[in-house]
Every structure is written in structure tokens, then in C-alpha cells.
Chains A and B, each alone.
Chain A
Amino acid sequence: MEDVIYNNLNYPIITWTVFLPVLGAIIVLLLRSATAIRWTSLIVTGLTFIISLPLLTGFDKTTHKMQFVEWHQWIPSWGINYFVGIDGISILFILLTTLLSILSVLVSWKAIANKAKEFHISILIMEAGMLGVFVSLDFFLFYIFWEAMLIPMFLLIGVWGGENRVYAAVKFFLYTLIGSVLMLVGIVVLYFTGGETLNILALSSEQYSLNLQFWLFLAFFAAFAVKVPMFPFHTWLPDAHTEAPTAGSVILAGVLLKMGAYGFLRFSMPMFPDATMMFLKPIMILSVIAIIYGALVCLAQKDLKRLIAYSSVSHMGFVTLGIFALNTQGVEGGILQMLNHGIITGALFLMIGIIYERTHTRKIADYGGFAGLVPWYAGFFIVLTFASIGLPGMNGFIGEFLIIFGAFRAKMVYGVLAATGIILGAGYMLWLYQRVFFEKADTERWATGDHKVWDLDMREIITLVPLIILIFWVGFYPEVFLSYMHTSVAHLLENINQTNYAGGDHLLTRLITGIF
């Protein structure tokens, strides 16, 4: 393992980052008072964030090698190790995760009244799981984190969710599980063809036959496409997002959806470059469909949260499009857009959660005129709206522009079609904004009783401000973030472009002949 940079800090930083939340969960398990539980969770997530900061400062941007690597034997009989590290692709997700976790604790401060202990344990375990996914360099470890996340998420949706929560939770779980188990089979096949190891770096440097690549790519695709989610595997998402409690939606949108795309970048593309080339066209087409389709569905939505959920489908379509454009701008744009989507949509869900706490309705038709009722809220929302639309100066623009640029460069028609998503995006978001915030408010309804609506309080503003700052930071100076990716992305593309795939394969024929 000379191809990595071992952690040279005097403490295992990644391990601490990943497992501190677990420790926190254990502490929470022993606590009784809800207040103590909340504070502990806040402190733990905060600490985790602080601990993860040295990753940023100590990161060597000049190399694509894995950094802060820790390596220990774990299951020697299977040749499986505890092997973690980060590179330019994963580093930002870690920070995003640690940040969003704090916010999800904060936003649940009042919203979660029953089973607070279980809730916070779930959040903390969830955080550990998500971090684990991004740092794992061993497939087995990766898979454990990948699936372990399902449990807390399942509970988050199912226990603290909305009316239809059980359906949503089960759907989420089974959908994701189907993809994952197919990936598991793929992993095992890879294990035997790659020389009985699950070391991701070692597996990436192997060459696989075209046929094998084809099938493995499909297996991995099943897991990642569901997670992204790509059209047409997206229907779990609106349900899950809509029914999940605010913190759950934030985490789902903010981090969970990123894992699919991350999987493509980390596994599918470097390991199966030929198959990547083979699947390029269908995936790009699906991405474009997702962009437009998601936007169209948004236009028809009557539920606030569902609309944002479907907008994720559209945005994640951009991400996959960018990634599979296979050029620097596309990939970097894709990664950046993942962060952006995490920030924007995360924040949007926070906002919706905040207003839902007051109004107890998600029907768009119930709203109207809120700009006058809750001006600060409206102000924050408009920023997010325009960030989501991709207005220059905000983060959404940078990502979308780079993606469209990359797609355009790869194949013009995809770029053009993707750009139509921007028009539609403006359409549904502004229409939403109008329906919720403009026109006359039903002031009487929102003045008293259960439905009393008040503007953002300090806690909520504190929750939102970091995200708003990030929106503009990325919008005006994305280089801070992009610079982490440059070398890693360049290395990735270099790897993929070494493919000697000649083309001319018919996917369907291969699929059918393979099965029979």
C-alpha cells in the first residue's frame, strides 16, 4: 500500500470523525432527560464537525492519492481490512455531512417531542453511517456503512414521519435494499475476480473483461441508480422525503442522495471504464429525462414537500449528467452540484419543516401571502429558491453551468436538453414561491390557535445562516471548493480515458444473451 498517504496526525482523525457519533449515541442511550439528550447530541455533532475540520486544512490538494489513510486488519480470513481515507472527491461530502448533522439536531429541537432518545440515537448513527460510506476504502466496510444507514433512516421516516410514514419508510427501505443486494452480489463477484481482496484501490487498478464489467456495472448501477435516484427508479424519493421528519428530509436530500453519485465516481467509473463507456449513452439519456421529467412533475405538484422532493430528481439528473459527461467540467460540476443540492435542498427542507411546525399543512393551496406574515422566512426562502433555480452568484449556478458545459462539450444535444431544465426549474420554483408567499394571506387563519404563524426565531436563523453563507460562498468563490477536486478528478478521468473500449456493443443484446 505505498500508493496512499498515511495519516500523519498524531491521532486517527477519520476514525474519530466517523465513530464519535456512535460514541455519542451510546451516551445518549444512557441519558434520561430529553433536554440533556438534545444538548448531548448537539455537542457531539458539533464536536464531530470541529474534528473534521483539520481534514480540510491538512488536505494536500496536489495529489490524487488517498490521504489520512488508516489501515488495520479486520477479517483476515477474507482479506478484509479496516481501510479508510479520503481524497478530493470525498472530502467535501464529509464536511457537508458533519455540518448538516448539526443542523438536523438543531431543527429537531422542538419538533421531536416523543421518543427523543431514539430519534437522536438514529440521527447520530446515521451520521456515522454516512461518514463511513465516504471514507471507506474497503468494499466490505463500505457496504456495511452503506446498509447500516438504512436502519436509522427507516426509523426516522417511519417513526417520526407524516401521515403516510409507514408506507414511505417501507418503500424506501425495500427499494434501496433491492439495489444494495444486487450490488452485494457484484461485490462478491468482484472479490473473486479481483484476487480475493475488497481493497477498492487494488480493485480499481485491475483489468476486467468486458463482459464481466458489463454485469458488474449493472449490479452496481442497481444500487447507485436507486440511491441517486435516477429516473425511473425515483418514486421512493417523493414518498420518503415527504413523509420524513424535517431532519430526515434534510439528511436524505443533503447526504443520502449523494451516495449514489459518489458510488459511480468511486467505484463504477474507475473499476469498469469500458462498461462506463458502454453505458454512457443510456445513462445520459436517463439523466436528461430525469431533469425534464422531475421538473414537469414539480409543475403539477400540490404538496410543498413533494414538490421539493421531485425537484431533487431533476437536480440529481444534472448531477449524473455531469458525472457521465466524463470531462473535467462535467465531473467537477457534478460533484459541486451534489454539495449544492445538499445545501440548497437541505435548507429548503429545513424551511418547510419550520413552516410545517406552525401551519401543520403541506398543501400549497393552503398557503398564500406569507411574505407579509413571515418576511424573514420569505426572505430566506427566496434566496433558496433562486439558488435552486441556478441564479449566478449563488452556488446552484456554478454547478449547473459546469454540468451543462460539460454535457454540451460531451454531446451537444444533452447540454441543450439539460438547459431546458433551467427554464422549467424557474417555472416551478417561482410558481411555488408565488403560491406560498404572494397574493393575499388568510390572516385570520394564521393568527391564532394551533395554526398561529410566527416568523423565524433565533434558533432557526442560526440553523439556516450557515447554509445561506455557503450558498453565496460557493456562488462567488467556488474555487475554494473546486480546488479540492482538481487533482482527484483529473486522475479519475485519466483512468477512464485509458479505456480501449471500441464501442458498437448493443446493450440489450448483451443483456438478453447474458441471461439466456
Chain B
Amino acid sequence: MDVTFSLGLQDISAIMPELAMISVGLLLLMLDLVVKRKEIIAIIGVAGALVALYGTVSVYGMSESQTVFADMFLLDKYSCFFKIIFYLNVIFTICISFKYMAIEKAAFGEYYALLLFATAGMMIMASAADLMILYLGLELMALSTYILAGLLRKQARSNEAAVKYFFLGAFSSAFLLYGIALTYGMTGTTNITDIATSLFTLGIHDSPVMYLGVIFMIVAFGFKVALVPFHMWAPDVYEGAPTSITAFMSVGPKAAGFAVLGRVLFEAFGSMQPQWSAVLVPLAILTMVVGSVIALAQSNIKRMLAYSSIAHAGYMLLGIIAGTPEGLTSTINYLMIYTFMNIGAFTIVIMLRREGFQGENIEDYMGLAKSHPMASALMLIFMFSLTGIPPTAGFIGKFYVFMEAINAGYTYLAIIAALFSVVSAFFYLRIVVYMYMKEPQNEIVLTTSGPAGIVLAITCLAVLIIGIFPSILLSLANFSILG
């Protein structure tokens, strides 16, 4: 009955980035009461994220991973890699929100605070060493995003998005909990490392109960990363939510979902790899097929990007299915690339929104190249990157996952993925076609802003540089898995 844990300095220092995130979030809540210019709040939010980024980067080179808070929180390179994705995501999102939220008349401090809290939730998920903490992080993230999705409460579709997201999210958490409960019951623990040991010592990696637990967790995580058939919330929520939040959601929760999927499947259930790979294969196929195919019929660009993000989840899954460390590397590599190209695309989407004009229809892009050659060129790059055409980063991402899938013997999956990326090319191309090959219907005014410009510059450069010199990212991803 001894207390086995006492709080120490190393515990606090390990969660410094999370702490920074949360405290800045709290600060923003308070500042909101006194500061009238909401841009300042946003800037402070970015600063907070940057501080956290610094904190993460400074420990990135550490030689060994660290478990703190009584094996609850794990600070390792894997989580750091994901945290960087989260920081980029939140920073980009805040940057593109400046003007947008003002147009939507919803620029208030809570918005930024919630973004930071959601990010904190993701960070906790990525660092979770215990299913319990994983669950809590997930809920922290989820609850924040539910609110953010429904933020524009004067808009029916924002409400509806929130309702759908919330209900289905809660439904899926129930499955997660059931899975956790089963795992706990069988192994007697919720600690990820201990689960792996228990599975090994008890020799229960073939038991149906464990399998059921894993399946339920896959269902729940599959919901977060929008795998078919657990994807159905995604298009509606992406379309209904404020565009900046759509951008945020299309990257953050997805990355977090993959982070925990990788963590749980590889670390806790590593010995059950054949089983869960088998489950994921049909999901991956369905995801790629349904995502690519339905996107073809879309006329709303947010919705189209939603389906596109579903399809991308399918590609990312290939790396996990491979079941090797390299496979996981390819997935996280893909995620990082996806972050840049997807946010880049959403930045252009958001720039079309202006007072009294939604700018979400694909027709709205007609003739954009004529009036805004630069924006169109960037969108073109993002679209080709999402398609996976070299020399953009999107190609590197796809190449790597295909490579690992094939290496693991899933050549047919790679072929399906390749063919459906051709299908997906069709709808990405359509944007390009509208921008470059149609005459403008009416005058297009872009809502530009400095921060958004910076985001575009960074994402575009990243897409091109990673596309041409992928080594930079590859070694980082590699390093983050091996550590």
C-alpha cells in the first residue's frame, strides 16, 4: 500500500510544452477580457505554440525516451515528431484565422484558447503511455474540436456539424472504452508497455477477447482518422465547420489518431500484428476507394477536400498495415507532408471567403489564374502534391508508403492505392482546370493577409523542398521511429 510515485522535477520538465500550451491557452482566456484587438491574442497564441515548439525541439535530440508521471506520460522522439505536426497545424490555423474569423464575426479569445487546448489534447495523446491518459487526451482534443466545429452558432450548418461530430464522437468513444475495458480485463493493466509484456507472458495474443478489444480500438481510432466505414461524419463536419477549423481538423485529429493508432498497435499489440493488419487491409481498401470515388461528385471544395482527406487516410494506413518500423516511418512521413499540402490548400480556400461570399463552390475558382496567378500557382502545386505527382512532397509520401507496403508483401494494396490515386487525380485536376482553363464568371477578390501569406510561403516551400530533397524529412521520420 505504498505510494510509489512522488512528483519530481523531471516530471514537470517533461511536460513543459504541454504546460506552455495550456497556460498560454488560459492566458488567452483572460486576455480576451481586456484586449480589444483580437489579432494580439492570436499572435500570443502563435507565440505560445512557438515556445512549445522550442521546448519540443530542444529535447528532440535526446538519446533515450523518458516516462514520467508514474508511467503515464512518455516523452520520446515519436511523440515529438507528432507534436511538431501539431504545432505546425495550430500555428498555421491561427495564422489563417486572422481575417477569416473576423469575416465570420467570431474572432474571440476562446477560439484561440480552444485551439491550443485541442492541440494540448493531441500532444497528450501522442505522449500517452497509458490507455487511460490516451482516452483523456483524446477527449480533451475531441471536446475542444466539437465546440470549434459548432462555433458559428448562427449558422445552421455549423450547428449541424457540431451535432454530428459530437454524437458520433461520443458513440465512438464508447467503443474505445469498451476496447480499453476488455484489454484491461485480459491483461490487468492499461499501461501500453505492460500490455505488451502481459500479452507475451500470458500468451493471449490469439485470444478472441483481445482481438475484440483491438478491433474496438481500431473502430474508435478509425473514427478519428476517418477510415471507411467510420468516416461518415467527416464530409459533413468538414463542410459545416468554419473553414479554419476544417483545416485544423483535417490535420490535427487525424495525425493524433494515427499517432495513437501507431502507438497502440505497434507497442501494445505488436505481437498481434498479423491480426490487426488483416483487419486494416479491407478498411484501407474501402477508405481509398470510397474517399476517391465520392470526391469525384463533389461541388463544394471543403467537402471534396474532406473526401480527399479520407482517401489520404487510406494511403497512410498502408504504412501501418506493413507492420514494420519502416512502415510506421512511412506513415508519419506521409502525415507531415500531408500537413503542409493540406493546410496550404485550405489556406487558398479560406482566402476566397469574403464578406457576403462563401467561395466554397468549385465554380468559384473559375478563372482564378487570370486575376490571381500567384494564388493559382500555389493551389496548383498543392493540388498536384495531393495527387502525388513529383516533384512535390505528396509524391514522396505516397512513394514511401507504397514502398513499405510492397516490402511487407502487400503489392496488391499498393496497386489499388496507385490506381485510386489516379482516380483522385481527377478531382484535384478539376480545381486546376477551373482555375486555369475556364473564364472567370465574376470578379474574384481574395482576402489576403500577411500571416496567411507566410503560411502559404512555408507550406509551398515545404512541399517543393521535401519533394526534391526528401532526405531532410526522411531522416527525421526515421530518427523518430528508431528512437
Contacts and interface: CB of A to CB of B under 8 A. Distances in A.
Interface in A139-190: 140, 143-145, 147-148, 150-151, 154-155, 158-159, 165-166, 169-170, 173-174, 177-178, 181-182, 184-185, 188-189
Contacts of B380: 151
B471 interface: yes
A75 interface: yes
Given A169-B433, A178-B419, A181-B422, A77 B390 contact: no
Which 7 residue pairs across A and B have the least CB separation, nearest first?
A181-B418, A144-B390, A158-B437, A188-B406, A147-B390, A159-B436, A178-B422
A75 B395 contact: no
Nearest to B383: A151
Contacts of A140: 399
B27 to A, nearest CB: 41
Nearest to B435: A159
B373 A147 contact: no
A184 B399 contact: yes
A75 B474 contact: yes
B391 A148 contact: yes
A10 B432 CA distance: 43
A118 B373 contact: yes
Interface of A: 74-78, 115, 117-118, 140, 143-145, 147-148, 150-151, 154-155, 158-159, 165-166, 169-170, 173-174, 177-178, 181-182, 184-185, 188-189, 191-192
A165 B418 contact: no
B238 to A, nearest CB: 25
A189 B411 contact: yes
A129 to B, nearest CB: 9
Contacts of B406: 185, 188-189, 192
Contacts of B415: 182, 185
Contacts of B402: 184-185, 188
A249 B474 CA distance: 39
A115 B391 contact: no
B286 to A, nearest CB: 20
Given A151-B389, A155-B432, A192-B407, 17 more contacts: A77-B478, A118-B369, A118-B373, A118-B377, A143-B390, A144-B390, A145-B390, A147-B390, A165-B437, A169-B437, A177-B422, A178-B419, A178-B422, A181-B418, A182-B418, A189-B411, A191-B403
B475 interface: yes
A459 B369 CA distance: 30
A76 B418 contact: no
Interface in B366-383: 369-370, 373, 377, 380
A185 B369 CA distance: 34
Contacts of B190: none
B321 interface: no
Contacts of A155: 432, 436
A107 to B, nearest CB: 21
A358 B432 CA distance: 30
Given A174-B426, A177-B422, A181-B421, A78 B474 contact: yes
Contacts of B436: 118, 155, 158-159
B437 A75 contact: no
Contacts of B418: 181-182, 184-185
B453 interface: no
A170 B387 CA distance: 13
A148 B399 contact: no
B106 interface: no
Contacts of A148: 389-391
A55 to B, nearest CB: 24
B425 interface: yes
Interface string B465-483: 0000111001100100000
B390 A159 contact: no
Contacts, number: 93
Interface string B395-437: 1000100110011000100110011011001100100110011
| Dominant secondary structure of chain A at its interface with chain B | helix
B395 A147 contact: yes
A77 B433 contact: no
Contacts of A158: 432-433, 436-437
15 contacts: A77-B474, A77-B478, A117-B373, A150-B389, A154-B432, A159-B437, A165-B437, A169-B437, A170-B426, A173-B429, A174-B422, A174-B425, A181-B421, A184-B402, A185-B415
B414 A166 contact: no
Given A77-B471, A159-B436, A173-B429, A188 B422 contact: no
A50 B329 CA distance: 45
A154 B471 contact: no
A180 to B, nearest CB: 9
Interface string B91-123: 000000000000000000000000000000000
A148 B468 CA distance: 11
B384 interface: yes
Nearest to B381: A151
A148 B414 CA distance: 21
Contact of A177 (B377, B425, B432): B425
Contacts of B407: 192
Contacts of B414: 185, 188
A147 B389 contact: yes
Max count, chain A CB within 10 A of own CB: residue among B380, B384, B429, B437 = B437
A185 B433 contact: no
A115 B415 CA distance: 38
Contacts of A145: 390
B384 A151 contact: yes
Nearest to B398: A184
Contacts of B437: 158-159, 165-166, 169
A76 B399 CA distance: 15
Given A74-B471, A184-B402, A154 B429 contact: yes
Interface in B439-483: 469-471, 474-475, 478
Max count, chain A CB within 10 A of own CB: residue among B390, B407, B415, B421 = B390
Nearest to B376: A118
Contacts of B419: 178, 181-182
A170 B395 contact: no
Contacts of B391: 144, 148
Contact of A173 (B369, B399, B425): B425
A183 B315 CA distance: 18
A475 B377 CA distance: 44
Contacts of A159: 369, 436-437
B395 to A, nearest CB: 7
Max count, chain A CB within 10 A of own CB: residue among B436, B438, B474, B475 = B436
A181 B420 CA distance: 10
Nearest to A157: B437
B29 to A, nearest CB: 44
A30 to B, nearest CB: 12
B326 to A, nearest CB: 10
Contacts of A182: 415, 418-419
Given A177-B425, A188-B402, A144 B471 contact: no
A185 B419 CA distance: 10
Nearest to B433: A166
B471 A75 contact: yes
Nearest to A146: B390
B405 to A, nearest CB: 9
Given A144-B395, A178-B422, A181-B422, A76 B390 contact: no
B386 to A, nearest CB: 13
Contact of B403 (A169, A174, A188): A188
A76 B470 CA distance: 10
Nearest to A182: B418
Nearest to A74: B471
B82 to A, nearest CB: 20
Contact of B433 (A115, A150, A170): A170
Contacts of A151: 380, 384, 389
A155 B433 CA distance: 9
A115 B421 contact: no
A259 to B, nearest CB: 15
Contacts of B478: 77
